[in-house]
Structure formats: C-alpha cells, structure tokens
Structure 1
Amino acid sequence: MSSIHALANSNSDALTRSAAPLHVFVWPIDPQNPYTVSLYAEMGRDVRVAEFSVLNLRHRHDIWHVHWPEALLNIRNPTLASAKLTAFLAMIDWVSLRGGKIVWTVHNLKAHDELHPRLEVMFYRRFIRRVDGVISLSETALKMALEKFGQLRILPTAIIRHGHYRNQYAQCPPDARSSLGIDSDTRVILFFGEIRGYKNVDVLVRAFRGVQNERAHLLIAGRPKHDALGAAIAKEGARDSRVRLELAYIDPALVGKYFGAADLVVLPYRHILNSGAALLALSFNRPVLVPDLGAMSELTVDFGDDWIRTFSGEIDAAKLESALEWAGRRRPLECPMPQEYLWETIRSQTLSFYRQVMSTR
C-alpha cells in the first residue's frame, strides 16, 4: 500500500481540498479477501491508501474507512475482546482529533457469533457516535441500520454495491467434475465458504438427506470455524453417500473448480444482511438459492429470477428439490453484471462519498 505523507495544515479552501488527494486509512485490508483488495487497488491519483497499522497512526489521515468492526466481537475471550474494542475506539478518537473523518461500510449489523451481547451493545453505542459517514451495500441494509442506530440518521449516507468477483479467481475448468470425482450426469448442489454456526450447514446436510433424486449430490467446501461444528457436519454427512465434504481451507486457485462442478449454489443461512458469497456464485455464472432475508430480495431485482431464487423459513428437502429443478432451466451462459456491481463504478462512488464526508463539519 502507498505510504502516507502529511497534508498541509490549512483546509479552509474547500475547492482546493476537493482537488487534493485524499489520504485514506483502511481497517482492515485482508489480502485473502478480494473485496477490500479490489476496492482499493486502482483508486488512482485521487487517493493515497494506507493499510491499518499502529505505526501508521503517526500520520494524519483524511478518512479512516472501517469495515467489519464487529469482527472484534468474535474474539472468544471476553476480557481480550473488551480490551481490543477499547483500543480500537481510542485509535478512532486519535484519528478524529487530528481532523480525520470516520466512514463505516455496514457489512453486518451484529457479530455473527453473538458471543458477548452486552459488550456488543456497549461497543456499538460508543462506535456509532464516532462515525461521520455511512456506506451501505444495499437499500435494505441502510434502512435496517438507520432503524437500529438512530444516530446515523443525521449523517451522510450512500448506497454502494458489493462488487463482483470476476477476474479474481481462475475460471471454471471444463474438467471440474471429473477432477473432483463427480459423475457428469450428477446434479450438484454446492455450499462454499467458511462454515460458521449461523450458516446452518448442518441443517442443509440434514435436509439434503431427504432429497429423493438419487443423482443429486451435495458438495460442502470450506473450513469450519470450530472443530465441534465440523464434527457435527461430518456426522450428518456420513449418513448419506451422496454428500461430499471438503471441510478444509480451499486454496483460491481451486475456487473455480468447485463452482464449475455446481448446478446450484445454496446459502442456507439463519440470518443474512448482505452476501459476498451470493456475488461469488453469480460471478461464476451459477444460480443461487438464498433465504428471503436482509437484502436478498434486492439481488433478485438486480439480477433477475433466472439467477436468484429465495426461500422462506428453514431449508428443507422440498425446497432443495424445487430449486434444483429451477436451476436446470435454460438461462444465458453468463450472468449479466449490472453497472453498479462493477468495481470502477464502486471506486468512483466511494471516492465521491469520501469527498462528501470531508466537506461536512
């Protein structure tokens, strides 16, 4: 990432300031997460980006762009989680005292693991009042954020979509199924990604066992967050020979192979706000079954019912069978990617929002 240089002290001339490069501090940039890599990779001369580090706090920043602050609430030790959250808020105060603005992209409205509910309430109450601008990935998520955190209503907000994953991974190889030992005439349902409790993968496996189609095949590819969760899924999967479990980290070079083998991607989540996993499936031109929760209805509007199908309640065999039939219908070979999901659009919108936030007092 590019280094940070001190900006001139004077910021009284708004026009000059709007033309000057913005110095952006980002927490976090994960090299394993194509979302943040793609967002900041080519912002051009208008932005100087620095990845979060304590050393970089020595420099002055115009914007601190925060993603996934709730990740600190997934630390299992409550004392350690509390200490890290306190330090995080103190660093935000330091950036703000030096004139920086805090922009929060709302990926989630709560911590996935829900380990520390009281600490979570206290953290969000303190964090929200430090935020200067909010980016939401969907209209639904913005509405839910404003309802949950009323203080955000007075702030600048923007709806900027989650970008696609095309060109981030090798494309689907033609021998994807044979390389996985799956017959070509099998109907494959795929769950892909890190396995956590709220994603309901054990329920998916149990539901699949009720699918009557003997040519149906369930492929689970991803590393469980906890050993006990992996053991529960393995126990369910062992009861049906049609279930294939790859309970391990999947090398990015192999991602296309798993999507290439799939007829249908299923996200059986108990709760969901936005979904990078759904965008990943669409980027590989695979239809997706998602719960009718959060912003999933917006995906249906944006991509059409050829590519997105929703279900209500808990996933079950009937819903899987119906979705498999739907996935087998003729559709374009390539999923159309709307303009607002293209990274050049997203970068431009993000930069414009930075400028908007910087213009507020």
Structure 2
Amino acid sequence: MLRVMARPAFKNKRRNPYNFLLYSALQRCGVDVREYASSALLSSPWDILHVHWPESLLETGSYLSARWSEGKYLFILDFVRRRGTRVVWTVHDLKPHDLVYPELETRFWAAVLERLDGIIALTQSGLTRAVEGFPRLQSLPAFVIPHGHYRGQYRNDLSRDEARQRLGLAEHSRVITYFGQIRPYKNVPRLIECVRRGDDDVVLLVCGRLSKRANLETELRSAAGEDPRIRLLLEFIADDDVQQYLIAADLLVFPYKDILNSGSALLGLSFDRPILVPNRGAMQELQNIVGSDWVRTYDGDLDEAAIRDALAWAAAPRGSRPQLHAFDWDVIGQQTLAAFQQICGGPAGSGAVDAA
C-alpha cells in the first residue's frame, strides 16, 4: 500500500475542501493518506510527502519563529529524502501571495523547490509557466492533473426564486456574483467599478474572505460607495449558505489580473452557472474542456461592454448541465495515484521529465 503524508490533507476542509476531496479519492484507491505531522514523518517510512502551499509554514507570528520553522522544515525534507521519501509539490501558485517576511519567504520557497522529486500542475499552462519560472523543475517528473469539481459537496436544493427571496433580490434584477477569497490580483474593485457604470438593473454580490495581509476593505468599500446595487459580504460563507449566492446569480464573474487555476470557477460551474473569465491560459483550457456555452472569456481589461454582452449570453437557454466528467474526483484520484507511483519508480530526486 502506498503511504502518503500530505500538508494539508483533511484539516482545511471547512476553508477549502479541495484537499479533503483529493485525498478522499486517493483513499478510495487504496492509498494510506495521513495528515502532516513531523514526528510521524520522521519516525516511520513514507513513500510520498505531498505539499501544497509550503509558505504557510512560515505564518507563525514572529520573524524568529518563522526562521525556526524554515530551518526545521528544510531539515525534515533533507532527512526524509535521504531515507527514500519523494517530495511532490502541487503547483497552486507561482509565488506566495501574502508575504509577511518577503525575503525569508522567497528564500524558503526557492529552497523547497530544490528539494522536490516531482510536481503536479492543475493545468497545462500552469505547468508551462512553472517550468519557465523555475528551470530546476525541468529535470523532474511533471504531471497535469486538474482541480476537481464541487458537485455534491455543498447543498444545492434551492430554486432561483427561493435563493433570491432569501437574499431580498428582485425577481427581474440581473444578478452577478463574485465568489471566493479576495486578493489584490483578483481585481474585484475593477468589477465593482464596471457594474456601477453599467445598467441600473444589475446587482453585484461580492462574497468572500479578505486576504489577511492586504488592506483591501477600504478600497472595496470606496469602490462600492453608497450604491445599493453593490452588496459586499466580506466574510467566510458557511457551507449551507454557499448555494444561495450562486443559485441567485445569472452570471458569475472572475476578473483576475493573473490566473493559474480557479477553484471558484469550478464551483460556479458545479452549480450550473455560466461564468465570465479573462482570456488567459488556464481559463482558455477550462473553456476548451467545458465549452463556450458555459465559459465565456474577455480580452484585455474588464469593462462594462464585456459585462453587458456576458449577461445577454448568460440569459440564453441551455439544454443541459455543464459536462464536468474531466473534473470527477475518482478520475483525479486514479491520475494522482499513477503520478505518485511513477515518481516512486526511480531514485529520489533523479526523475526524467514526464509532462502530461
């Protein structure tokens, strides 16, 4: 039985169920998956150490504490790799988003990348950018395994009318929702400005937690002004409430300046909602897989015309739900298991490129 220790594995389910869904699928494939614990990792052999957001280890408070965490983790990586454990990184981002100690975190990121035995990217464009940005990765086994969908993860038992009644939205209003964590690169103030300059019957729901280290709330509230069409829900949305903000929407918009992948886009599609996204690598791939009936892209900066055209497009009838078979978790579990098995097939740190 393949033994995998992951950081995180299951403990972040409430904040982001991605890891829980991935490792639950791996368990169904017969893999022994455990939550990261340094004592357990050091005391017994493991085939794979799977890491996702390595910089989160440094979010420990003081600079001295972060330095201690850096040294401890790099020692652990060196120790377990000498013992035969392969270290695999899933590429969610190409750089830390919320830097507390920029110099330390940049150095730590580079040091972790030097200790990898394989990488998994969520999109082909993400893999290409990762290898271009970090040439050392060219020598590693590399795999493209998509982010899975969220069907069945959240309640989905409201009608559009019921969702709107709960939120106090008029039946005739055209509703746009932005859903997901709010960071500077996600460009939410631009979306607010475009809606305010657009048609009077459009309502915008901005739903999501603010980045812990970017002072965005003032900018968002300034962009919204006193416009009653703009509703800011700058907080974590409870699982049972997720459905109402998505089902009430005619269109979901994700106006990112930069995009490697988007779980929020897949969340919207999981609720059968058309989405508007920038015409950039990962989103082009998503459109190619799901189809232009459900994924619409725009070029350049988001503007009122792009939103107006997308709302008209979203209003057109659709004969079936978006096809998300490529994002099924059991398929993803099998793909991830195959990647781990291939990475374990050679000496640690000496794999050949195998880009899927």
Give unmatched runs, 5+ long, in structure 2.
Answer: 348-356
Q: Report 1:228-243 matches (<5 A).
A: 228-243=215-230
Distance 2:235 2:106 in 1: 33
Contact 1:50 1:56 in 2 (8 A): no
Q: Report 1:65-214 matches (<5 A).
A: 65-72=50-57, 79-114=64-99, 116-174=101-159, 175-211=162-198, 213-214=199-200
Contact 1:74 1:112 in 2 (8 A): no
1:256 aligns with 2:243: yes
Following superposition, the deviation at residue 236 of structure 1 comes to 2.2
Distance 1:298 1:71 in 2: 28
Contact 2:98 2:211 in 1 (8 A): no
Distance 2:61 2:229 in 1: 35
Distance change (3 Å), C-alpha of 1:218 and 1:45: closer
Distance change (3 Å), C-alpha of 1:271 and 1:82: farther
Contact 1:70 1:110 in 2 (8 A): no
Following superposition, the deviation at residue 195 of structure 1 comes to 1.6
Following superposition, the deviation at residue 206 of structure 1 comes to 1.6
Give unmatched runs, 5+ long, in structure 1.
Answer: 1-20
Contact 2:29 2:334 in 1 (8 A): no
Contact 1:26 1:52 in 2 (8 A): yes
Aligned to 1:56: 40
Aligned to 1:36: 19
Following superposition, the deviation at residue 243 of structure 1 comes to 0.9
Query: What secondary structure does 2:217 align onto?
Result: helix
Distance 2:104 2:280 in 1: 26
Following superposition, the deviation at residue 223 of structure 1 comes to 2.1
Distance 2:145 2:21 in 1: 14
Following superposition, the deviation at residue 84 of structure 1 comes to 2.8
Range with greater deviation from structure 2 (277-286 or 235-244): 235-244
Q: Deviations over 1:9-42 (max 9, x none)?
A: xxxxxxxxxxxx0110001121222111111114
Q: Deviations over 1:38-61 (max 9, x none)?
A: 111142363111101233222221
Matching residue's letter, 2:129: M
Query: What secondary structure does 1:46 align onto?
Result: coil
Distance 1:82 1:100 in 2: 24
Aligned to 1:299: 286
Aligned to 1:245: 232
Following superposition, the deviation at residue 87 of structure 1 comes to 2.6
TM-score by length of 2: 0.89
1:22 aligns with 2:2: yes
Q: Deviations over 1:301-325 (max 9, x none)?
A: 0011111112233222222112111
Following superposition, the deviation at residue 241 of structure 1 comes to 1.6
Aligned to 2:352: none
Q: Deviations over 1:216-255 (max 9, x none)?
A: 1101111222484123212322332211121221101111
1:314 aligns with 2:325: no
Matching residue's letter, 1:221: C
Taking only the aligned residue pairs, the percentage that are identical comes to: 41
1:355 aligns with 2:341: yes
Aligned length, in residue pairs? 339
Contact 1:113 1:198 in 2 (8 A): no
Q: Deviations over 1:66-103 (max 9, x none)?
A: 11224346778655444433332222222212211111
Contact 1:141 1:295 in 2 (8 A): yes
Following superposition, the deviation at residue 186 of structure 1 comes to 0.8
CA RMSD of aligned residues (A): 2.0
Following superposition, the deviation at residue 164 of structure 1 comes to 0.5
Distance change (3 Å), C-alpha of 1:101 and 1:80: same
Matching residue's letter, 2:259: I
Aligned to 1:3: none
TM-score by length of 1: 0.88
Matching residue's letter, 1:36: N
Range with greater deviation from structure 2 (91-100 or 341-350): 91-100
Distance 2:38 2:60 in 1: 20
Q: Which has the higher contact order (CA 8 A, sep 6+)?
A: 2
Distance 2:113 2:31 in 1: 25
Distance 2:71 2:95 in 1: 17
Q: Deviations over 1:271-312 (max 9, x none)?
A: 110111111111111111112234111001001111111223
Distance change (3 Å), C-alpha of 1:77 and 1:230: farther
Matching residue's letter, 2:73: F
